[in-house]
Amino acid sequence: MMTSIPLFRLTSLLLLLFPVLIHAVNVIGSIKPNNVLQSLTLLPPSMTVSLSGANLADSRTSHIYSNGAFKFQDVKPGSYLLEVNCRTHLFPSLRVDVSTDGLVEVYGTFRGNEWDNKGERKPHPIDISPVKGSDFYIVREGFNPMKLLSNPMILIAIVAIGGMTLMPKMVENMDPETRAEFEKQQQNSVLSGAQNNPLQSFDMAGYLAGSSSKTQPKSGNGSKRK
């Protein structure tokens, strides 16, 4: 009877610790270099790996060791999104599923994808490499004359300058009769435009003074007395 009491207590203690042992799951992985990332020394010190769950309290962040390894301890059962936060390189996103029996399953995923749609199965521990470098600046294009000539305003200016340059030479090459007729037409067009312009006979000063230049009142010396 005396030996059964400690055995009962030990069994009860193991039953209490059993859920804790089940929940004590570690998600581990490492950053691997490739043709995009030649060496891990090129990664910035501010680089981190985040494991985000549906519950904000279950989300966490891990820094990267010098050998590229990262580790999340005591991860509860659930589904998580693993992302690498780096300002110099872009890494793929991964889905991490932790079951109640301690099994860790990793799948490829991306933002905007339906969560039930699992991608390619990945091994655990996780090996993740960058897909490309981050480009924060737009490379300024050099001077391109062909692109400049494609501007409509530039084309109009070139045509206008060409017309002004070639017109006198075309007039000089005309025969005398055609040239005389052309000059006559030019003069008539200028004179007709000046005659038909109503602003030529408009008296601005008189209009502003309140009187008209066409009709001016005549002042008499006085009325005649009979």
Q: One digit per residue, pLDDT tens: the chain, 226 residues?
A: 444 445 545 555 544 544 444 556 899 999 999 999 999 999 999 999 999 988 887 889 999 998 999 999 999 999 999 999 999 999 999 999 999 888 999 999 988 888 888 889 999 999 999 999 887 767 777 777 777 777 888 888 888 888 778 777 777 777 777 777 777 777 776 445 545 555 555 566 666 666 544 444 554 554 444 4
Output the pLDDT for position 15. 47
Output the pLDDT for position 48. 94
Q: Residues 83, 123: one domain?
A: yes
Which two tokens mark 211? 């009187």
Q: Residues 55, 102: one domain?
A: yes
Helix (H) or strand (E) holding 131: none
Cα torsion through 33, 43, 64, 110, rounded to 10: -70
Amino acid at the residue 128: I
Number of domains forming the structure of the chain: 2
Output the pLDDT for position 199. 54
User: Which residues span the domain enclosing 154?
Assistant: 145-195
Output the pLDDT for position 83. 95
For 91, other C-beta atoms within 10 Å of its C-beta total 20
The rounded distance, in Å, linking the Cα atoms of 178 and 77 is 98
Residue 214 falls inside a structural domain: no
The rounded distance, in Å, linking the Cα atoms of 110 and 90 is 12
Output the pLDDT for position 195. 52
The rounded distance, in Å, linking the Cα atoms of 43 and 90 is 11
Per the CB < 8 A criterion, the answer to whether 120 and 93 are in contact is no
Q: Residues 114, 151: one domain?
A: no
Strands (E), 55-162: 60-63, 69-75, 78-85, 89-90, 93-98, 104-109, 121-122, 126-128, 132-133
The rounded distance, in Å, linking the Cα atoms of 51 and 94 is 9
Q: Residues 126, 152: one domain?
A: no
Output the pLDDT for position 213. 46
